A and B are shown apart, each in its own frame.
Chain A
């Protein structure tokens, strides 16, 4: 009689990997159906569950490749990247890198970047909430110290960059989209801010300087260094205007003194 661990390892291998060598030792009781058929029921339930979950997280990838190809992607992905959590909603973060090296998708070089965008959207929807930036607190910071501050992005904010026009690709697969102008992959890439506001998650195309600035903030560089990055990207960067916009839109929700306090992030 197998131990409980042996039995569970054998069943997992039989269900996920189709490993039939493990089957006889499991002692699956017969009856009207044999063990293979019974394992097959679980296999189809488990994979259907993952296909459904990942199609909900990656609707545009699903639309781009169609249900049959998507099912094949998911089945290969599940075998290569096992779920590690009991919460299937949080499964699938490695799909973008997986697609980048998935040979059958070679002819869709932008697919991996679209997946990265959709994961960012999915995670933005469930990130922590945040209060607006404390302007009164900011006003107490001495002028000379402003450049050393580290700004804090909204917890839902994510930056996604691609050499492909992923914003138009994404838009073309949204419900109600009626444009059918062809998308030229050579038309240039996108830098996008994905962020959750009062009306849900939105995508905002960023100028080179806006992206450079927010990427520097996300990397926790001091404000002076972030401005340097932005000006290097586009000389016309206007810090005052950028701050007004990002604070009003709650893209930037906080600030920290330059020396990170050990108690700053409980």
Chain B
């Protein structure tokens, strides 16, 4: 079964630098990989050569972290050009970014900062998604983020904001189940309310990752196994949306590749029964 994005409706793995040589040499049985776009905003060299080699054997999703779609500054034309150049070279199965901002007055914070859920922010981010989709000539997948604060000016729920971006722009959604759980705990809502508001036809990819629970807030570290409540929410997500390409992300304290394969196998076991029905 092929998803709207061009990715297979199976489990994939986020490919990070420590595992690139392993994947390139041993070609492990993984259905698809996702990489951070910005890591390949380079003119040449071994990292780009390795990605060229890996993309010949696996579908690749490009996941951006630095476009700052929700910034009040104008869209960074240089960043968009570099992304466009990479998309032309890699021909990815999906291109994604975040519903966040990271730059103001030309200063970048290189982080995924939360937007207020206001009409102004919604108008702005929809314009930006339109502009990026026009520039890339393909649908953009936009991802819901984890947040550690909310604004009093919020005029709608996060899930209504996310769904409205998809409805207005025709973009696809990258539904991060871990981020929904983190926000549900941090801001006190029922994640099933979130799930109910998301149009399943717009969801082109799912992310799963681990968080840190040692502080006053859940922190989205991508540094641990997927937590049990996130697996539960993932099962509910697949039950509602049907099988979707699902990525295991791990970015800090990156473990041996086999651990990522274990996590992907768990996700695959959730996807499998649905795929059998669809077939």
Contact = CB atoms under 8 A, between A and B. Distances in A.
Nearest to A83: B108
Contact of A82 (B38, B39, B47, B106): B106
B32 to A, nearest CB: 23
A49 interface: yes
B44 A88 contact: no
B44 A128 contact: yes
Interface stretch (A28-36, A241-249, A254-262): A28-36
A77 interface: no
A127 interface: yes
B219 interface: yes
B45 A16 contact: no
Interface in B38-93: 38-39, 41-49, 65-68, 71-72, 76, 78-79, 82
A126 B42 contact: yes
Contact of B148 (A1, A38, A82): A38
B111 A125 contact: no
Nearest to A16: B109
A41 B217 contact: yes
A129 B44 contact: yes
Contacts of A1: 118, 153
Interface size of B as a range: 35 or more
Interface size of A as a range: 35 or more
B105 A12 contact: yes
Given A28-B150, A38-B148, A127-B43, A45 B111 contact: yes
B107 A86 contact: no
B102 interface: yes
Nearest to B221: A45
Given A42-B113, A86-B76, A129-B45, A12 B188 contact: no
B173 to A, nearest CB: 21
A88 B149 contact: no
A4 B76 CA distance: 17
A152 interface: no
Contacts of A91: 110
A171 interface: no
A15 interface: yes
A45 B65 CA distance: 15
Contact of A41 (B42, B148, B187): B148
Nearest to B217: A41
A85 B151 contact: no
A63 to B, nearest CB: 20
B151 A7 contact: yes
Interface string A188-219: 00000000100010000000000000000000
A35 B153 contact: no
B107 A83 contact: yes
B79 A86 contact: yes
B152 A27 contact: yes
A222 to B, nearest CB: 27
B111 A49 contact: yes
B154 interface: yes
Given A4-B121, A8-B101, A84-B106, A90 B41 contact: yes
A127 B44 contact: yes
Given A1-B153, A32-B216, A84 B108 contact: yes
Interface of A: 1-5, 7-9, 11-12, 15-16, 26-29, 31-33, 35, 37-39, 41-42, 45-46, 49-50, 53, 82-91, 125-129, 155-156, 196, 200
11 contacts: A4-B116, A8-B71, A12-B107, A33-B217, A41-B148, A84-B106, A84-B108, A86-B103, A88-B66, A125-B45, A155-B43
